[in-house]
Amino acid sequence: MLSTGEEKWTEVRRRKKSDKGVSEEVTTYFVTNVPKEGRKGEIRNVFSKFGRVTDVYMGLKIGKNGKYYAFIRIMGAGDAKELEERMNGAKIRGKELEVNVAKHDRRAIAPAPAPARTAT
């Protein structure tokens, strides 16, 4: 902020980051037997009672087992295997879901390459 030729600094207050978000891990689960007509919101609603659902990805194709699938990420799951057992058998549109801890972590998205420069 400038006033009468003198420079003055103005303190900017930042939001405090909660300590909760730092220590909680995100666990990815593979869900199969998802109804073809199922929606991300339905999956989020079903699994939100088990923890904070941070991401839902639905495969658009049938998986190797002949069923539709989804991946869900839950923050603060605690014991991942115990939560897997509790979530297994949840239902969406009358279909009983099969839940497993994902075998692999989600791949990081590579940054887009910089545009090529042309000589002028």
Question: What is residue 76's predicted lDDT score, i.e. its pLDDT?
Answer: 82
Q: Please state the rounded mean pLDDT for residues 91-102.
A: 92
Cα distance between residue 44 and residue 74, in whole Å: 10
The tokens describing 33, both together, are 């037997």
Q: How many domains does the chain have?
A: 1
- pLDDT band with cut points at 50, 70 and 90 for residue 110: low
Torsions phi, psi for 23 (to 5 deg): -90, -15
Asked whether residue 56 is assigned to any structural domain, the reply reads yes
Asked whether residue 87 is assigned to any structural domain, the reply reads yes
Asked whether residue 11 is assigned to any structural domain, the reply reads no
Q: Which one-letter DSSP state was computed for residue 45? A: H
- pLDDT band with cut points at 50, 70 and 90 for residue 64: confident
Query: What is the CATH number for 48?
Result: 3.30.70.330
State which residues form the domain around 40.
23-101
Cα distance between residue 47 and residue 30, in whole Å: 12
Which amino acid is residue 70, in one-letter code? A
Asked whether residue 88 is assigned to any structural domain, the reply reads yes
pLDDT tens digit string along 9-38?
656 555 544 444 444 688 899 999 999 998
User: Under a CB-based contact definition with an 8 Å cutoff, are residues 92 and 34 in contact?
Assistant: yes
